[in-house]
């Protein structure tokens, strides 16, 4: 146990040093500005320390030669004013010059982190907590500005000022003065470092709980409808409040320990200043020092110890910022699971032939998803994959996009192994209409144009027309500029899916994947879209993943998957004739379709029957069709059904 406690700070210090070194590339871009800001800082501190020196000369001039008060003190007062003005000027110049360095570093780091997140594998993103990642990134990128700000405006100024004060004390006064000042500073720093390191555990736990609470709140808002469906608002609030209760305990302990730290720092400074002033006063009494010396020593101590008091706070804030930054740098250290090989070349797309060659795959080693999957899609051919949920159908699309690498076998496009080509060129050649379409919280036009951002407006509108969504868009109050809400929640499932189809049409890829592309559409729209998809897929290599067999009867070949294996394959007619698994699925779906059709046929009669009853739900507020008004004796006459 002791060994663990002893090694943790060393590890933390090493991480802090690594993170500080990690900031250097962001500073190097503006190294000239940083150097100029440092020179301004030194000039400001020289002027600042010069103020009490001039003040000493003014006091000594009054004491030694009262009759020269109209000559010498005026020049010293002028010098005093110039030094004060110079200190303020150089401080502001330092701020102006260094501002670009700080904010460019934040910008660069934020962009790098987002690029890195996009480079990480799908496995990471399926397991991440969006709210926690968002909060960690916010704190981490802000910490860069915090550290640079404190280093430039607090730590370095104090070090420069301390050096100048040390030179004055060592050259002009007895060693006891410097000994007391340096001793006080040493005790101050030792106390501050020790207590702050002890308190950091509270800060780390506060950060973790803060991220966890934010993730829970974020998750409950994303699943707003689910929460409402089950009436589980109290559960969500209880979970969120429980995490915040733990955070509250850590925050209280952190604040209590900080009060102890502040008191200790104040006590150390008070003792140091008292000792220095006692030595100075004794020197004046003994005639060894002038009153001006007393004023100078007092002013120097105030100038040194006041920022030193803030330096304790600054040290704590830097440690907190380093803890926040560590989250970001640890994220940047995470290696993407899928990376381009060093020798990877752009995909050379010729005919667009796709081959799955004895592919095995699993997400978890304990559960195989695909077993010896082997098939080929010839150029311009349409292959459909059907099967029950969990059979491994959608995994084929993820492997084709190389979101994961196969465990055995290989996937080829025009004879090129996907692992030997760049991911960018691969994904440019393949288009997809996914089963679950998620849209950006932007306009419909932006989401459609996302398939090919450089497309003209006419091309975007044509793609929308082919996806049978243009008429709907132009009927909206804001038309193409209608915002779709977070994840596209303002649109229905069918509308989102048609946007996805339009996006795929606009991309114009050589290879197309339709993953349950019409699963959210009604029967009428599905028939129209199926014709569109057939037109889009013409002369394209097409992989169709489907649950409804009626959507794939025109496929050149149908693969029937079960438990990760291809059990049957052939055309629609061949598979029906074989009387196997596909034939059973077809018969089951046909029975379901007939049942639904019969229910639809009886629906109008039921609707009219309800409409003839003025007391039926929904009858209020509308005039019943064919119902006569009440007669004088209070009765009513029902109208015949049309």
Range in 231-240, 389-398, 410-419, 484-493 the model is least confident about: 484-493
Long-range contacts of 281-290 (CB under 8 A, 24+ apart): 283/174, 289/173, 290/56, 290/59, 290/60, 290/63
Rounded distance between C-alpha atoms, residue 261 and residue 616, angstroms? 74
**265 C-beta neighbours (distance < 10 Å), count:** 21
Which pLDDT score is estimated for 452? 84
User: DSSP class of residue 372?
Assistant: E
- Asked if 514 and 544 count as a contact pair (C-beta separation under 8 A), the reply is yes
In angstroms, the CA 495 to CA 472 distance is 9
On average, the pLDDT of the chain sits at: 76
**Residue recorded with tokens 């308190």:** 199
The residues pairing with 367 across neighbouring beta strands, listed in sequence order, are: 364
Which of 233, 305, 297 minimizes the C-alpha distance to 265? Answer: 305
The whole-number average pLDDT for the span 111-115 is 80
Beta bridge partners of 385: 545, 559
- State the pLDDT at residue 509: 84
CA distances from 606 to 312, 508, 600, 609 (A): 79, 47, 10, 5
Provide the token pair at 353: 């032939």
Walk me through the domains of the chain, giving residue ranges and CATH numbers.
15-333 (1.20.1560.10), 354-438+508-592 (3.40.50.300)
Q: Of 154-168, 297-311, 414-428, give the range with the top mean pLDDT.
A: 414-428
Tell whether the model's pLDDT for residue 301 goes beyond 80.
Answer: no
Which residue carries 């966890």 as its tokens? 212
Tell me which of 528 and 273 has the higher pLDDT: 273
Give one DSSP letter per residue of 164-213, joined into a string: HHHHHHHHHS-HHHHHHHHHHHHHHHHHHHHHHHHHHHHHHHHHHHHHHH
Q: What is the largest CA-CA distance in the chain?
A: 125
pLDDT beyond 60 at 634: no
pLDDT at 16: 67
For range 364-372, the mean pLDDT: 80
- Percentage of the chain lying above the pLDDT 90 cut: 0
Q: What Å distances lie between residue 149 and 95, 98, 142, 369, 464, CA to CA?
A: 9, 9, 11, 52, 50
pLDDT beyond 50 at 613 = no
Residue 618 has pLDDT above 70, yes or no: no
């Amino acid at each position: 146990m002791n060994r663990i406690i002893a090694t943790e700070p060393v590890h933390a210090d090493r991480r802090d040093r690594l993170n500080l070194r990690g900031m250097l590339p962001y500073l190097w871009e503006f190294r000239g500005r940083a150097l100029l800001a440092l020179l301004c800082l030194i000039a400001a501190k020289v002027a600042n320390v010069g103020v009490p020196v001039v003040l000493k000369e003014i006091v000594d001039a009054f004491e030694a030669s009262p009759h020269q008060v109209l000559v010498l003190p005026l020049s010293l007062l002028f010098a005093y004013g110039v030094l004060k003005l110079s200190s303020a000027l150089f401080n502001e110049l330092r701020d102006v010059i260094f501002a670009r360095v700080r904010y460019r570093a934040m910008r660069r780091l934020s962009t790098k982190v987002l690029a890195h997140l996009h480079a990480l594998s799908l496995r990471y993103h399926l397991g991440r907590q969006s709210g926690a990642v968002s909060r960690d990134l916010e704190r981490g990128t802000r910490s860069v500005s915090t550290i640079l700000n404190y280093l430039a405006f607090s730590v370095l100024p104090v070090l420069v000022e301390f050096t100048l004060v040390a030179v004055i004390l060592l050259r002009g006064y007895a060693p006891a003065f410097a000994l007391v000042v340096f001793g006080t500073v040493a005790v101050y720093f030792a106390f501050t470092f020790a207590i702050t390191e002890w308190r950091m555990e509270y800060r780390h736990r506060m950060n973790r709980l803060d991220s966890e609470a934010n993730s829970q709140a974020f998750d409950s808002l994303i699943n707003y409808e689910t929460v409402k469906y089950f009436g589980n608002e109290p559960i969500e609030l209880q979970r969120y409040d429980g995490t915040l209760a733990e955070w509250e305990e850590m925050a209280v302990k952190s604040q209590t320990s900080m009060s102890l730290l502040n008191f200790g720092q104040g006590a150390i400074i008070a003792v140091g200043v008292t000792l220095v002033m006692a030595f100075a006063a004794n020197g004046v009494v003994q005639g060894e020092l002038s009153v001006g010396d007393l004023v100078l020593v007092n002013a120097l101590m105030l100038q040194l110890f006041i920022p030193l008091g803030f330096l304790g706070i600054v040290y704590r804030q830097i440690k907190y910022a380093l803890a926040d930054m560590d989250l970001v740098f640890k994220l940047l250290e995470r290696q993407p699971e899928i990376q381009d090989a060093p020798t990877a070349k752009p995909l050379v797309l010729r005919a667009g032939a796709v081959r799955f060659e004895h592919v095995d795959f699993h997400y978890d080693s304990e559960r195989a998803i695909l077993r010896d999957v082997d098939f080929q899609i010839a150029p311009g051919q349409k292959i459909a994959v059907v099967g029950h949920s969990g059979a491994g159908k959608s995994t084929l699309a993820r492997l084709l996009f190389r979101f994961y690498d196969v465990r055995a076998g290989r996937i080829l496009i025009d004879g090129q192994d996907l692992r030997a080509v760049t991911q960018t060129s691969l994904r440019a050649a393949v288009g997809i209409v996914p089963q679950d379409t998620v849209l950006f919280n932007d306009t419909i036009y932006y989401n459609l144009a996302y398939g090919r951002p450089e497309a003209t407006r006419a091309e975007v509108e044509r793609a929308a027309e082919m996806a049978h969504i243009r008429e709907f868009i132009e009927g909206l109050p804001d038309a193409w500029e209608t915002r779709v809400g977070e994840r596209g929640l303002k649109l229905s499932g069918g509308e989102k899916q048609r946007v996805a189809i339009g996006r795929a049409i606009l991309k114009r890829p050589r290879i197309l994947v339709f993953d349950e592309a019409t699963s959210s559409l009604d029967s009428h729209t599905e028939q129209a879209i199926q014709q569109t998809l057939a037109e889009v897929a013409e002369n394209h290599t097409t992989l169709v993943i489907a649950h409804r067999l009626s959507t794939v009867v025109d496929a050149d070949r149908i693969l029937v998957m079960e438990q990760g294996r291809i059990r049957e394959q052939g055309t629609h007619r061949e598979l029906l004739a074989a009387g196997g698994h596909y034939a059973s699925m077809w018969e089951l779906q046909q029975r379901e379709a007939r049942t639904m059709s019969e229910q639809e046929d009886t629906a109008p009669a039921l609707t009219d029957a309800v409409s003839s009853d003025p007391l039926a739900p929904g009858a209020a507020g509308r005039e019943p069709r064919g119902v006569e008004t009440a007669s004088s004796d209070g009765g009513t006459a029902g109208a015949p059904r049309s």
